Amino acid sequence: GLSLTYGDIGQPTEALPHAETAARLDAANPTYLYRYGTALLASGKPAEALPVLRRAAQLNPNDAGILNAIAVCALELNQQTEAESAITLALRLTPDEPVAWLNAARVAINGRKLDDARRCLDRYQVLTAPGDRHPAAQMLLDSLSRMSDTLP
């Protein structure tokens, strides 16, 4: 209820207590755990979010949204192997999800896999109309260009 509403309007700190309450009341509900984990992540608490999201994935292992969030958390915590595993599975489950491709590019850039990052960004651009692209996409493209320029 309220956690979703606050989260949707970009107020993660307001969403956090509501999401936490729901997750506490029904700790076996992967949706509530996912909402709580993403509220923690949006509140700048990836270390707290990751175990919550892992639990959600145990309960619902084929939820690409949960796996995508795990990848972002793991990336924030510099856990490259877990980020790569989670985003790979998320993409296998939802190969046409633009946000997953954008996050896959972030994971690839962090792992210094520039060809993979370029492929992921290319796929993201194919899946999104120019007016619908996330501002992070341009930042990632710029990052990728700078990194490519520094290669021998």
pLDDT tier for residue 132 given thresholds of 50, 70 and 90: confident
Mean predicted confidence (pLDDT) in 47-72:
96
Q: What is the DSSP letter of 26?
A: T
Tell me the pLDDT tens digit for each residue of 67-116. Answer: 999 999 999 999 999 999 999 999 999 999 999 999 999 999 999 999 99
φ, ψ for residue 130 (rounded to 5)? -50, -40
**111, 113, 114, 120 alpha-carbon torsion, rounded to 10°:** -90
Tell me the pLDDT tens digit for each residue of 14-50. Answer: 776 667 666 676 678 888 899 889 989 988 999 999 9
Q: Whole-angstrom Cα distance, residue 80 to residue 67?
A: 14
pLDDT at 2: 33
pLDDT tier for residue 148 given thresholds of 50, 70 and 90: confident
Nearest to 46 by CA among 83, 75, 6, 4: 75
CB-based contact 63:56 (threshold 8 Å): yes
**120, 121, 122, 125 alpha-carbon torsion, rounded to 10°:** 120
